């Protein structure tokens, strides 16, 4: 996922159920074929834990360093109705990308585009203990956030309300607090514009005493004329990787030293985060020109330094870009943060993204040595292991099948969503668009699951659902339940979380959130607690909902 600032050709900044199981038009996959080769997700290899993150799960955006969007907690089958107004919640926004695990199972960090919070989650609670503002960022009131999620009868009315609260470019909110993390010492790191900040508790044994801004570094003069930071990740040896639109920086965790810089080629721009393994960072940048080739890279990270030396294992590969897409997508290339696939003793080690084509392709690249039986997919591009044209079960006449979300990975299986639909009335601002699509503008539909065949080195279709809505939230998969979750809009019921069987695509779980935009996650990721409660990162702030 995948969503910071894009540059246009004019260099403008453009960030730019008591509901029946029939809320989705069909309860079965469009291609409901047997899946005899499916391995339960509890049995697949997983990414090794990053020792410098606070927890194995939920301490970094996309849940882990490999960015798989997979969590280990079981979630109930069934139909549930949740009124967000009756849930334990906090207020922040308009982007609440993720609620991070801290070093204590009793507390989590609320990471938002306008603040940092510390939340008590012990014994089913969800109570904000303390909060702190981001540098130079206005903190929005509960009343403003309620107004932002109110019902509107027209796009014009919504636009007026959003600009009154968020300014003339509401999507500028997306420059803050998107790709964040909590480290092993319970420091959290968050970007705001071109500054990176580190927060901590004033007194670790008494969180109620407050949060303090431990350090801030202004990187404006160090990021190759980037208009914003994209986010932050962590190497396995404890250095920060800071992604900006035009470059990567390596910093110490104290934010005192810029240890190294890697600058992207001049025709490339970064709008998504990065993935990390034990000694590398994987970066998928977009062309600055429509239909230009994007760049997928492996850059070696060692002792606080970047290396693009091929002899050390670094590489570059190209992938297809496309034209500018309608809301909610950014840029001309991938909408995905790279996701790693294949760990431990797994035969194939891959990194996967969606490309920028109007009808996107799922692209896999060889991470390590290219196997001797690798197929030639594109002459002169040997790292490209395989591509698969995603249809989501939609007719071939469908103009757009595209995504602003990362690829969800479990074992050698991958799940993607269609986020894009051309609408008669246009939302030119990404935040306004994400609030309007569904309630005011017709939304996209379609999801698909595929498998990488390690024997034949190619993608294979598993199942698709052309009736499933996924507007802007990052999907997530429960490995304990073999179930993948999306957040979408249905005219008869409003906002819904839909849980689909990972192996077959059958609907197993529905949470009806109603028609208020409190049920809209606005680019955030779906989360569940270890006890199966829903943790919903709403546009107006996260809330906890027991599912009974």
Burial-class residue 31 by CB neighbours within 10 Å (0-12, 13-18, 19+): middle
Structure tokens, 208:
């109620």
Could you tell me the residue range of the domain that residue 254 belongs to?
A: 6-16+53-545
User: What strands lie across the sheet with 70-71, from one edge to the other?
Assistant: 70-71, 476-478, 483-490, 494-501, 507-514, 78-81
Whether 333 is covered by a domain: the verdict is yes
Whether 324 is covered by a domain: the verdict is yes
Whether 355 is covered by a domain: the verdict is yes
Whether 272 is covered by a domain: the verdict is yes
Whether 243 is covered by a domain: the verdict is yes
Residues near 56 by beta carbon (within 8 Å), at least 6 away in sequence: 49, 64
Whether 35 is covered by a domain: the verdict is no
* Number of separate domains in the chain: 1
Structure tokens, 134:
């981001």
Rounded to whole angstroms, the Cα distance separating 286 from 295 reads 7
Rounded to whole angstroms, the Cα distance separating 70 from 64 reads 8
Residue pair 362/433 in contact (Cβ under 8 Å)? The answer is: no
Rounded to whole angstroms, the Cα distance separating 532 from 124 reads 10
Rounded to whole angstroms, the Cα distance separating 511 from 23 reads 11
Give the domain CATH number at 506: 2.130.10.10
pLDDT value, residue 22 = 43
Q: For residue 182, give Cα distances in angstroms to 136, 149, 209, 210, 450.
A: 22, 29, 19, 17, 32
Whether 207 is covered by a domain: the verdict is yes
Four-residue CA torsion sign, 313, 318, 319, 323: positive
The whole-chain average pLDDT of the chain stands at 94
Rounded to whole angstroms, the Cα distance separating 520 from 542 reads 11
pLDDT value, residue 9 = 35
pLDDT value, residue 397 = 96
Rounded to whole angstroms, the Cα distance separating 42 from 64 reads 16
Count of CB atoms within 10 A of residue 105's CB?
11
Half-sphere exposure of 176 (CA within 13 A, CB side): 26
Whether 33 is covered by a domain: the verdict is no
Residue 185 DSSP class: T
Positions of the chain with pLDDT lower than 70, given as ranges: 1-34
């Amino acid at each position: 996922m995948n969503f910071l600032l894009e540059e246009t050709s004019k260099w403008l900044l453009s960030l730019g159920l008591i509901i029946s199981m029939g809320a989705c038009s069909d309860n079965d996959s469009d291609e409901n074929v047997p899946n005899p080769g499916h391995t339960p997700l509890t049995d697949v290899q997983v990414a090794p834990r990053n020792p410098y993150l606070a927890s194995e799960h939920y301490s970094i955006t996309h849940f882990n360093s490999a960015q798989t969007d997979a969590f280990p907690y079981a979630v109930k089958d069934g139909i549930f109705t949740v009124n967000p107004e009756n849930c334990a919640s906090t207020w922040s926004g308009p982007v609440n990308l993720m609620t991070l695990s801290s070093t204590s199972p009793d507390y989590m960090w609320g990471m938002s585009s306008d603040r940092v919070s510390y939340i008590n989650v012990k014994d089913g609670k969800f109570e904000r203990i303390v909060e702190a503002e981001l540098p130079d960022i206005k903190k929005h009131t509960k009343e403003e956030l309620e107004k932002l999620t109110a019902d509107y009868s027209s796009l014009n009315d919504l636009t007026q309300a959003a600009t009154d609260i968020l300014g003339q470019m509401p999507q500028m909110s997306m420059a803050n607090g998107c790709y964040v993390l909590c480290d092993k010492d319970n420091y959290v790191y968050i970007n705001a514009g071109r500054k990176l900040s580190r927060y901590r508790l004033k007194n670790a044994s008494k969180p109620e005493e407050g949060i303090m801004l431990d350090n801030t570094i202004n990187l404006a003069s160090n990021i190759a004329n980037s208009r914003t930071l994209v986010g932050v990740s962590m190497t396995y040896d404890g250095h920060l990787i800071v992604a900006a639109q035009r470059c990567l920086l390596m910093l110490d965790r104290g934010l005192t030293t810029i240890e190294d810089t890697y600058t992207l080629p001049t025709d490339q721009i970064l709008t998504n985060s990065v993935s990390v393994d034990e000694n590398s960072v994987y970066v998928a940048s977009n062309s600055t020109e429509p239909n230009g080739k994007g760049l997928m890279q492996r850059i070696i990270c060692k002792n606080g330094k970047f290396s693009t030396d091929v002899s050390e294992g670094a590489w570059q590969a190209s992938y297809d870009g496309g034209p500018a897409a309608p809301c909610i997508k950014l840029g001309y290339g991938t909408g995905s943060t790279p996701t790693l696939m294949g760990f431990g003793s797994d035969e194939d080690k891959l990194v996967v993204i969606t490309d920028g084509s109007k009808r996107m392709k799922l692209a896999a690249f060889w991470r390590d040595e290219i196997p001797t039986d690798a197929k030639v997919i594109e002459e002169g591009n040997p790292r490209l292991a395989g591509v698969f044209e995603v249809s989501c079960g939609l007719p071939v006449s469908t103009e757009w099948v595209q995504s602003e979300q990362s690829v969800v990975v479990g074992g050698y299986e991958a799940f993607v969503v269609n986020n894009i639909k051309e609408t008669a009335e246009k939302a030119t601002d990404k935040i306004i668009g994400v609030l309007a699509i569904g309630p005011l503008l017709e939304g996209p539909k379609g999801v698909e699951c595929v498998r990488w065949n390690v024997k034949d080195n190619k993608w294979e279709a598993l199942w698709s659902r052309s009736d499933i809505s996924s507007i802007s939230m990052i999907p997530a998969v429960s490995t304990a339940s073999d179930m993948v979750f999306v957040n979408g809009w249905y005219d008869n019921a409003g906002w819904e979380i839909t849980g689909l069987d990972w192996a077959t695509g059958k609907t197993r779980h529905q949470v009806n959130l109603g028609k208020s935009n409190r049920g809209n996650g606005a680019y955030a990721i779906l989360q569940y607690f270890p006890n199966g409660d829903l943790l919903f990162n709403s546009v107006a702030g996260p809330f906890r909902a027991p599912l009974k």
